[in-house]
Every structure is written in C-alpha cells, then in structure tokens.
C-alpha cells in the first residue's frame, strides 16, 4: 500500500484529486495588488512617472516625489532615476545643464547631491577631463567600483593601489591588465 492510498489521497494529476484536496480560488490581480504595501505601489508609480518625464517637467516631478511621506523610498526612486538619466547623458553635450538643474533640485538631500557630484567625477574620468586623485579616493565604494571597471588607466592605477576595498583594488588590477592587452 503506498502512502497516497493509505491517506485516502489520489496521485497527483488524478482527475478526482480535487474531491480530496481543498481547492483555494486563484487570487485575482486586483486582490494581489491590494496586498502590496502602499509604499511599494507608490515607489512603482514614482518610477513610472520619472521614466516618462520630459525635460522641463523633470525638476518639478522630482521635487514632488521627494515630498512623499516615506523619505527613504522617495529618495531611492529619485536615485534610480538620476542614475539612469546620468548614464544616458554622461558623455553628451546636455550633461552640464542637466547636472546643474538636478543639483539645485536635490540640494536639500545630501545623498542625492553626492551621487550627482560622483557622476560628474565619473564623467571627468571617463572622458579624460581634468580630475583629482584625492576626489576619487574620497569617493564612495559605488563610484570607485564603477570607475575600476572603466578604461582610464590613470584611474585604474590609482584604484589598484589605493582603492578602498579589496574588490575595488582587484577590479582595477583586472582592468589594468585588460587595458595593457588592448595596447599590444
């Protein structure tokens, strides 16, 4: 006698299985959505709105998002938006004006302001514009790691020797080796 027979249950896939197993109705999309915490729904709505915003409306929308009662969630949504936009604009001619506008917009939010400064430093390193070693060494792990994965040999050498973490130093060393192979 197998255990299914011993407990009065049929094998999986047996058409009579429902008679022995309680059947839970599938949760509708509406009820599943209502179970989602409010801050998750607002975060998704903020990301959606930020993804759709056009030039002159961007600062106003960011300001509105930053008034959300959940400050941490609001700043996370704005941070994600700034990272996406900065990556798009970083090497182009629209960077300076956008970065200045965004810096004014998030001026009362130190973490967001710092991220914009770090994007400006990343841009300088990437485009081989003037930058200072001390700024790079004082930057966050995020920026050091992002820079260590890039092609600027001078920055790679600095980070390979003095990057804050072992991961940053190793990534920079790997980048230096990669760049040396490209030269050959």
Residues of the chain with pLDDT under 50: 1-32
E strand map for 35-177: none
* Residue 106 burial class via C-beta count within 10 angstroms: exposed 0-12, middle 13-18, buried 19 and up: buried
Q: pLDDT tens digits, residue range 8-19?
A: 333 343 333 333
pLDDT for the residue 33: 53
pLDDT for the residue 126: 96
DSSP code for 90:
T
If you search the block for the tokens 């930058």, which residue do you land on?
A: 131
Q: pLDDT tens digits, residue range 103-119?
A: 999 999 999 999 999 99
Report how far residue 7's alpha carbon sits from residue 126's, in angstroms, rounded to the nearest whole number. 68
Angle at which helices 38-52 and 71-89 pack, to 10 degrees?
30
How far is CA 74 from each of CA 48, 53, 60, 108, rounded to the nearest angstrom?
13, 16, 14, 13
Closest CA to 132 of 153, 154, 116: 154
């Amino acid at each position: 006698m197998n255990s299914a027979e011993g407990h009065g249950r049929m094998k999986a896939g047996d058409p009579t299985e429902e008679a022995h197993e309680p059947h839970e109705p599938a949760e509708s999309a509406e009820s599943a959505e209502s179970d989602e915490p409010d801050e998750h729904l607002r975060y998704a709505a903020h990301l959606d709105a930020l993804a759709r915003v056009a030039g002159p409306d961007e600062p106003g929308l960011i300001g509105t998002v930053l008034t959300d009662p959940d400050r941490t969630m609001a700043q996370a949504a704005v941070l994600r938006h700034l990272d996406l936009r900065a990556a798009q604009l970083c090497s182009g001619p629209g960077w300076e004006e956008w970065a200045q506008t965004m810096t004014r917009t998030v001026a009362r939010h130190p973490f967001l302001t710092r991220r914009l400064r770090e994007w400006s430093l990343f841009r300088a390193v990437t485009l081989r514009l003037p930058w200072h070693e001390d700024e790079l060494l004082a930057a966050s792990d995020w920026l050091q790691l992002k820079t260590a994965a890039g092609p600027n040999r001078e920055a790679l050498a600095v980070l390979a020797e003095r990057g804050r973490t072992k991961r940053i130093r190793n990534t920079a060393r790997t980048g230096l080796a990669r760049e040396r192979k490209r030269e050959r």
